[in-house]
Structure 1
Amino acid sequence: MQIRQQKGQSLSEYLLILGLIAVTSIAVVGTLGSTIRAQVAAMTQELAGQDSAAATGLANAHAGKALIDATEQLGLDRLRAGEGN
């Protein structure tokens, strides 16, 4: 009976870790999603032999905004107003 409880406990721990990884991944994609999209667009344009200056500039702009958003302190009043999105 004790082995079965240990297996159940291990499974619960793995599911908890998986959930934390999923939440972290969602947060990263939410923060950096537009940056990654713009970088992929720039790479695609370069591979196609086109000028990617506009897409690269957009990626840099999104990266700068993501950095500002990541370092900003959000208070409860701003979160209630929907500014944290």
Structure 2
Amino acid sequence: MNQHATTAHRDDVTARDWLEAGLQNLPARQRDALVLRFYESRTETEAAGILGCSVPAVKRRTSHGLRRLSSHLGPDAVLLLQRVAR
């Protein structure tokens, strides 16, 4: 592995750890919605079925979770979540 690849991997691991710590500070329902939507790439309908709630509830939980995550970790947190969670 070359130096650039090693550094990029280390940065991704650090970013994942940072995001996971931020996710742990969210209420469980918001955290669950974000994990299903971003880490597991579930649709809103799939997430609603798994969580036992409506699609609008998933949308609210996701929106509130993203807003809270951004307020705790900074404005780049949402973009990083979208990139790193894949």
> In which range does the TM-score fall when normalised by the shorter chain?
0.3 to 0.5
TM-score by length of 1: 0.33
TM-score by length of 2: 0.33
